[in-house]
Structure 1
Amino acid sequence: MENMDYVPDDNSRYKDVDYWDERYKTEQSYDWLGNFSKFHHILEKHIKKEDPILILGCGNSSMSGDMYSAGYHSITNIDYSSVCISTMSTRYSHCPGMTWHEMDVRQLSFPDASFDVILEKATLDSIMVEEKTPWEVSPQTAGFIHKALAEISRCLKPGGRFVSVTFANPFFRKRLYARTEYNWSIKKYTYGKGFEYFVYVMTKGEELSPEDAALEKKLLEDTKSPPTKIATTQNVPEEDFMSNIDL
């Protein structure tokens, strides 16, 4: 669980860069959803040691350093906290090939097709943490996520992989990722004992599976016509949204 010293009074603070700047001034390191060793067995199937990798919302996680130690030496890290980027670039200054940049995930200042792998761990979760229910994401958050995913897709090379590590199960997360315009397929993996975490691997240039394409079609239809009865959701497993975030 997260160190209670850093838990904000209101979940909306997780979207506030000032909160993170203050937190990173004193907190040494924190790994949301467990450290790299917990899901390395999944990542090594999808990431080659020589792949240029972009890590979104790197924070003060040890993941970049652990990946570097494991032989992944071409790692670009971004975070919107200048305090975080300053601290981490100093901490890992002995790692040639590892770079750190202050940047917004909605506006990546990289050319098209720059990376073989773009990786995020709990970054999108923190953007969504204020949502009251996973059933209906607010227009503001949906717009934020869409801008980020469009930028991620743009910066991936053909055949490149977007890897998303999250607490969100497929029923809720696939509705964000399953869009033809992102031009990727989606595969799902899980890790963790007791509580399950998810790793989604989106491959650029591959088509959505028939199942995911059908999901996109249904979601588009749902937005055009107002929902009739909430009762249609009764057969879907419920998820206690906030308590599932490993803060």
Structure 2
Amino acid sequence: MTHLPAQNSRYKDVDYWDERYKTEQCYDWLGGFSKFQHLLKKHIRKEDSILILGCGNSSLSGDMYSAGYHSITNIDYSSVCVSAMSSRYKDCPGMTWQQMDVRQLSFPDASFDVVLEKATLDALMVEEKSPWSVSQQTATFIHQTLNEISRCLKPGGCFISITFANPFFRKRLYAHSEYDWSIKHHTYGDGFEYYLYVLTKGEPLSAEDAALEQNLLKKDQAPDIPTTKELPDEDFLSNIAL
């Protein structure tokens, strides 16, 4: 793959993405919309206001728009990406693009019915060497991001997270009562399985997830996060593409 960086840490570098987006037209991590459309339609209404985090040059927004979801706000921290995608979809009323940091969303409280991310959180974790020991920097980054997502969700709205991370690890990241959401998940994919988490704002954690939170608090343990090292090959992008 021509756009693979020399080191995984480059996935966190905006300069890497700026350069990549200058030449790459489209790339869909974890598969395209058709792979999980049947799951999204269970949780997203056509009239919902949707925020897509770390949109990149994925076809997801455009495919969702074609499927009838016409209130979509896209953010990415690459100005090159935002400029290119704004131009590409300039004839789509209701579709907007903004440069923004996921840790500091410039939207009022309760702005969206749905916040969606696909492999954005995964990309933020590429430097972690073990799922059992997460750096304080990464833990803080993820916590800030999840707090912002929860803040921007309307009551009854949902955060949809699409990832390669299985529930054993990813629930440790999401199962915190301060975010004020419940956790459910689905799977999709052929051969290599991917996960689609649905976190509903205003619903309590299940008894199992609440117990997980208490166990983590008792152990004074930071959320354990799966890393690219768990994949059968260290070629991260190749492994998470369908």
Name the TM tier (shorter chain).
over 0.9
Match of 1:90 in 2: 87
Letter paired with 2:125? M
Q: CA deviation at 1:240?
A: 5.1
Separation of aligned partners in 1, 2:118 and 2:14? 17
Match of 1:183 among 166, 175, 180: 180
Separation of aligned partners in 1, 2:81 and 2:216? 37
Whose radius of gyration is greater, 1 or 2? 1
Asked if structure 2 preserves the Cα contact closer than 8 Å seen for 1:54 and 1:115, the reply is yes
Asked if structure 1 preserves the Cα contact closer than 8 Å seen for 2:129 and 2:229, the reply is no
* 1:97-137 CA-partner distances (Å, limit 9, x unpaired): 00000000000000000000000000000001111011221
Match of 2:74 in 1: 77
Match of 2:131 in 1: 134
| 2:154 counterpart of 1:165 | no
Identity level (%): 74
Separation of aligned partners in 2, 1:66 and 1:136? 37
Separation of aligned partners in 1, 2:79 and 2:132? 33
Separation of aligned partners in 2, 1:146 and 1:156? 16
Asked if structure 1 preserves the Cα contact closer than 8 Å seen for 2:162 and 2:194, the reply is yes
Structure 1 counterpart SS, 2:25? coil
Alignment RMSD (CA, Å): 1.2
Structure 2 counterpart SS, 1:22? helix
Structure 1 counterpart SS, 2:131? coil
| 2:96 counterpart of 1:107 | no
Asked if structure 2 preserves the Cα contact closer than 8 Å seen for 1:129 and 1:242, the reply is no
Match of 1:63 in 2: 60
* 1:158-209 CA-partner distances (Å, limit 9, x unpaired): 0000000000000111101000000000001000011100000000000000
Separation of aligned partners in 2, 1:97 and 1:59? 18
Match of 2:44 among 44, 47, 56: 47
* 1:37-59 CA-partner distances (Å, limit 9, x unpaired): 00000000000000000000000
Separation of aligned partners in 1, 2:43 and 2:193? 20
| 2:25 counterpart of 1:36 | no
Q: CA deviation at 1:73?
A: 0.2
Match of 1:118 among 115, 120, 140: 115
Asked if structure 1 preserves the Cα contact closer than 8 Å seen for 2:11 and 2:124, the reply is yes
Structure 2 counterpart SS, 1:190? strand
**May I ask how many residue pairs the two structures share in their alignment?**
230
- What TM-score results when the alignment is normalised by the length of structure 2? 0.93
Separation of aligned partners in 2, 1:215 and 1:21? 39
| 2:9 counterpart of 1:12 | yes
Structure 2 counterpart SS, 1:185? strand
Structure 2 counterpart SS, 1:5? coil
> RCO greater where, 1 or 2, for CA within 8 Å and sep 6 or more?
2
Match of 2:230 in 1: 241
Structure 1 counterpart SS, 2:159? strand
Letter paired with 1:117? V
Structure 2 counterpart SS, 1:198? strand
Separation of aligned partners in 1, 2:75 and 2:231? 26
- What TM-score results when the alignment is normalised by the length of structure 1? 0.91
Separation of aligned partners in 2, 1:95 and 1:62? 14
Moved over 2 A (4+): 242-245
Q: Which runs of 5+ in 1 are unaligned?
A: 225-238
Q: Which runs of 5+ in 2 are unaligned?
A: 222-227
